[in-house]
Chain A
Amino acid sequence: MTESGRGWGYVVLFSEIGVSLLVTTLIGVLVGYWVDKQLGTLPVFLIVGFLVGAGAGTLMIARLISRFLKSFDPPAP
């Protein structure tokens, strides 16, 4: 892969890292908040939702990074 191609690849990767963490955490928090409002248990499920959302986002990013890096630097034959 050319240097410029690799550079653009990193741009795509970093962009996805930020948005994925934001969206998954936000979804977790909002779902947790909604559950808390229904059950009257604020902030138990809000915290659980935050942790699950942030954890899921981290997992998503880890998988994406490992897949991207495999493309950027394929193992020598």
Chain B
Amino acid sequence: MSSEQVVTTEVAEAPVPQPRRGRGLSSRWFLIIGAVIVFNIIALIVVPPFPKEGQPGDACAFPVCFIEGTLEFPAPHVVWAPEGSTAPAADQLIVFYPSISSTIFTMWIVMAIVLIVSILLVRGSTLIPRRGQNVFEWFYEFLSDFGVGIAGPAARPYIPLFAAFFLLILFSNWSGLVPPVGRIEELRAPTSDVNITLGLALVSFTYFEFQGFRRLGVRGYLGKFFPVYEFKKGVSAGGIAMFVGLVELMLEFVKPVTLSMRLFGNIYGGEVALGVITALTIAFIPVGLLGLEVMLNAIQALIFSILTLMFIVLAIESHEHEEGHAAEEALEALHGTESAALQPAS
């Protein structure tokens, strides 16, 4: 009897499990989608749109007034400001105005919720985890494996920062999809404000620069950008290395800009798109867009935190280390031998 026949016989004898069609899951999803549609329609009837500068109950012409009512300027509403200070114009993007804005206020609420839920889940941790602790440990291990898988083993000490960034940004992004947030002046998704995303990016920037200096020393880290030692190989080699180093120094300052602009652009753009589509189509299409936004917001949180992790790993790698690896790999590719075999005999 051939091995194929044996396998066929065993499979034929074994009880064939009936594949589940996942009806429970489908009906649950239909219920959720239906509930959101009904909620949107009830909201339209109970709280009809009104002009942006008007009062509830004022006449509102479709579609211009509907759309205008949902649009929000990039600058957030000021919840509290010190007396005597003058507020900047609403259409200004980056401003210096020391105040408590709606986005900062919402971020504090999100921070409090994330902290309290995390503390409650891990409070009284035991060796054999209970349900809450188990969920938290599973989530942390998932993030840890994911972060180390992408950024390498050198990223392991920085996983707590990665997880913290991910959780904070994830729930900040998602907060904008919860109905009262964005519809009342005191609450707005924190990451839909460029000042908040710039602040997050500056925290990330400060941390990875600090880690670079801490791990490589001032001389070692600055040597990445001012490779004076390259002049030992000749003036032209040194000149080129200095030019590349200066470009890299400039690129260090581009990192926080790309981090903040990407997060702000995606979340603010998503909110505006969702608001306009909701104003135009009331209930059906926004449900699909809402699902898309849930996924995209999670991806943006992941991108920000993974890039922070990658930038930390890039900062703590010395130039000699990178070049050494590149040289070893090139030699291996040329000769097809192990790098260890290329070392001169002592």
Contact = CB atoms under 8 A, between A and B. Distances in A.
5 closest A-B pairs (Cβ-Cβ)? A1-B149, A5-B149, A9-B150, A19-B258, A60-B251
Interface string B236-275: 0000000010011011001001100110000000000000
B137 interface: no
Given A1-B149, A8-B302, A68-B310, A56 B258 contact: no
Interface string A37-75: 000000000000000100110011001100110111011
Contact of B251 (A9, A24, A70, A71): A24
Contacts of B185: none
15 contacts: A1-B149, A8-B150, A8-B306, A11-B299, A11-B302, A12-B150, A12-B303, A16-B303, A56-B247, A56-B251, A64-B314, A67-B313, A68-B310, A70-B325, A74-B152
B151 interface: yes
Contact of B258 (A5, A16, A63, A75): A16
Tell me whether chain B's interface is mostly helix, strand or loop, or mixed. Answer: helix
B146 A5 contact: yes
Contacts, number: 73
Given A5-B150, A67-B313, A20 B303 contact: no
Contacts of A70: 152, 325
B33 interface: no
B25 to A, nearest CB: 20
A27 B329 CA distance: 35
B11 to A, nearest CB: 27
Interface in B300-335: 302-303, 306-307, 310, 313-314, 325, 329, 332
Contact of B151 (A6, A19, A20, A71): A71
Report, as a range, how many residues of chain B touch the other chain.
Answer: 20 to 34
A9 B307 CA distance: 10
Contacts of A5: 145-146, 149-150
Nearest to A72: B150
A15 B150 contact: no
A32 B258 CA distance: 20
Contacts of B149: 1-2, 5-6, 9, 71
B257 A64 contact: no
B146 A8 contact: yes
A70 B317 CA distance: 13
B261 A75 contact: no
Contacts of A2: 149
